[in-house]
Amino acid sequence: MILLIILLVLLAAFTAVFLIRIVELRSGGTSAVVRILPSAKSEGWRHGVIRYRDESLDFYRLSRLIPGPSVRLNRQTAEIESRRRPDGGELDLMDPGVTIVGVRAGGTHYEFGFERGALTAFLAWIESRPPRRARRRSRWNS
C-alpha cells in the first residue's frame, strides 16, 4: 500500500511539472512547428514555442520535460533558404495559411511552420541582425 501511495505521489509530481512547463512556455513566446531535415515528407514536425534572444532563437518543444531549448539557432549563421505552403500530410498538422520557411544554420537544415504574425517576427529578427563584422560595444571591448 505504501508503494502505491509513493507511486501516485510521484505521478502527481511529474504531471504537475509537465503542466507548469507548458503554461510557462505558452505564456512567453511565439507558437511554431519545427522539424530538423532531412526528414521524410510530412514527418518529424514538433510543436513548441520560440523565444527570441539577441543572438539566438530558442525553440522549446512542448512535449519535452528537460529544461532548456530543443533547438537553438545562432542569429549570425541563420540563412533563409526557401518558403512554401504546407501540402499533403502537413495539412493535418497545420492550417493552409501557415508558411513553411527553410532555414540553414551552422550546417543544419530546419523547417519552421509560422502563422502570419509569427513569420513577420521571425523575418524581422533575421533581417535586423547586425553585420557579421560589427561587434557589440561594451565596457569589455571598448
Give the C-alpha separation, 131 to 13, whole Å. 47
pLDDT value for 61: 87
Query: What is the Cα 95 distance to its own chain's centre?
Result: 18
pLDDT value for 22: 66
**Is 48 in contact with 62 (CB distance < 8 Å)?**
yes
Model confidence pTM above 0.75: no
List, for the chain, all residue ranges whose pLDDT scores fall below the cut of 70.
21-27, 65, 132-142
pLDDT value for 25: 61
What would the CATH number be for the domain defined by 24-128? 2.30.29.30
pLDDT value for 39: 78
HSE-CB for 49 with a 13 A CA cutoff: 15
* Sequence-distant (≥ 6) Cβ neighbours of residue 39 within 8 angstroms: none
pLDDT value for 21: 66
